[in-house]
Amino acid sequence: MNDNEHFERLWNDYLEGELHDGGIADLQQLLASDDSLLRAAADSFQVHRLLGLKAEDSEIRHEDFVRSTMERLPSSETKFVGDVVKMLPVRRTGKTFSHFLFRGVVAATLLLLLALLFFRPSPSPEVARVTRLHGAVQWTGEGGIVQDLHKAGQVLRGGTMESQSADAWAELTYRDGTTVTVSGRSLLTFSEQEQKIVHLRYGTLSANVAPQPTGRPMLVLTPSAQMNVLGTQFNVDAQSESTRLVVNEGRVRLKRNTDGKEVDVEAQQSITTSINKQDGLVPVQRAEAISGWKSDLEADVVYGKWVSRLWSLGARLKKAVAEGEMTKAAAIRAYKRDAHFDDSTGSVWAAASPVGSLIVLSPRRLMEQPVLIDANTRVVVGGRLHSQVAIRIGLSVGHPDGGFAGKYSTHIPVSQLADGEEFEIELPISEFRDKTNQDSSLIGSELTDLWFVAEASPAKFEITNVEFTDTSGRGNP
């Protein structure tokens, strides 16, 4: 007698309430070793319950076994069956149904059974697995169920992944070996039917795409562009109004959503497209890396609020008038005295996020030149606190040949930051560490973005200056 025949005999005895304890142990062992038998048992058990044929004494005697079996099934299916069972008008007269009631229940439940077996959608196949992750990452799957992802190895059948904090990231690996990594605050919806479809609503994505079937390229969608990928390595930065694509290997065809114009972006080229501009769609060749960089805060801000110096001055004077500290005429004179035509100076204020008050800046929003980090790099940060809080400063970096390389950060304690006063901090690159791998080094990597987070909420602070300097004197702008 093979395993399938042995299972059928044991399972039929179990449903009739005639299986002894030794038989239950054999049945549990078979179900634990073969998922197909588990599925067959579950389907059979669901049908049996719906038709009301199960003996009452068996239901009581083997409740623990039933529970352990059903708990191994996808929660959405067991909930569906449970809801159906609760709706049935089941009444018992002794150990079996009365003949009259049995016929009524069978007639009603046969319709439900047909819907269950023929109209219920089959479970979606595996799309990808979480192979690496760190930080606050959530996944919304089938049925709209939201769950936190805590460890690698989880199978995902499509859905939406949200990387919620500046130091968070997650890597998905498809069955063909294609990998997609989201980094920082990013929102990604993915699916795979006839072809892979990835919708990057905002954030940063890096992908290594295996060769795709002819006529079925991988599609990467953003609010402003669509990219067709047959097999390549590329990075994408997406915001609500713009998309930046960098191709490191292979070729990607980009189409601008506003007018449908298309262009092929080759290896070692980049392109930026925006829904606000209809100018030429021309790729740019990769520029030589630099090791020094001073942030143009207004242009580089990804997350946070840019406030010009004149706006800030006007707000302070308006507050002083409202609180009776100066007259309106005096405020106007002060504004005219300090104002000038150049309104390019200012600061970036932290904005609320799921993990605290946050600022994110990126050199890739303005420059084509990559910022290379070496052993001589020092990070200079200026700003002002308006709350007594500690700040974590972090760097997101990528490999020069493409792909996500990690996140490194350092903690600035409250003792180094005075409330209400300006500060300037200079940090050697050796101060930054990767929480997931303390021995890793960011030397030789390229800067993707840098971020400042105060985990206390609410916490007010602003950044007034950011500069990367190279103490060797090489490559500074």
3-class DSSP string for the chain = CCHHHHHHHHHHHHHCCCCCHHHHHHHHHHHHHCHHHHHHHHHHHHHHHHHCCCCHHHHHHCHHHHHHHHCCCCHHHHHHHHHHHHHCCCCCECCECCHHHHHHHHHHHHHHHHHHHHHCCCCCCCCEEEEEEECCEEEECHHHCEEECCCCCCEECCEEEEECCCCCEEEEEECCCCEEEEEEEEEEEEEECCCEEEEEEEEEEEEECCCCCCCCCEEEECCCEEEEECCCEEEEEECCCEEEEEEEECEEEEEECCCCCEEEEECCEEEEEECCCCCCCCCEECCCCECCEECCHHHHEEECEEEEHHHHHHHHHHHHHHCCCCCHHHHHHHHHHHCCCCCCCEEEECEEECCEEEEEECHHHCCCCCEECCCCEEEEEEEEECCCCCEEEEEEEECCCCCEEEEEEEEECHHHCCECCEEEEEEEHHHCECCCCCCCCCCCCEEEEEEEEECCCCCCEEEEEEEEEECCCCCCC
Its CATH class, for the domain covering 293-304+350-470, is mainly beta
0.85 surpassed by pTM: no
Name the nearest CA neighbour of 469 among 295, 349, 286, 288: 295
pLDDT at position 41: 67
Query: Tens digits of per-residue pLDDT, 251-264?
Result: 999 999 999 999 99
What pLDDT score was predicted for residue 116? 45
Tell me how far apart the alpha carbons of residues 183 and 65 are, in angstroms, rounded to a whole number: 43
Question: Which pLDDT score is estimated for 329?
Answer: 82
Residue 78 has a pLDDT of 45
CATH class of the domain at 128-285: mainly beta
pLDDT recorded at residue 470: 86
Q: Are 358 and 166 in contact (CB under 8 A)?
A: yes
**Residue boundaries of the structural domains of the chain:** 3-119, 128-285, 293-304+350-470
> Are 128-285 and 293-304+350-470 equal in CATH topology?
yes
pLDDT < 50 positions in the chain: 47, 49-63, 70-120, 475, 477
* Joined tokens for residue 93: 């007269």
pLDDT of residue 107: 43
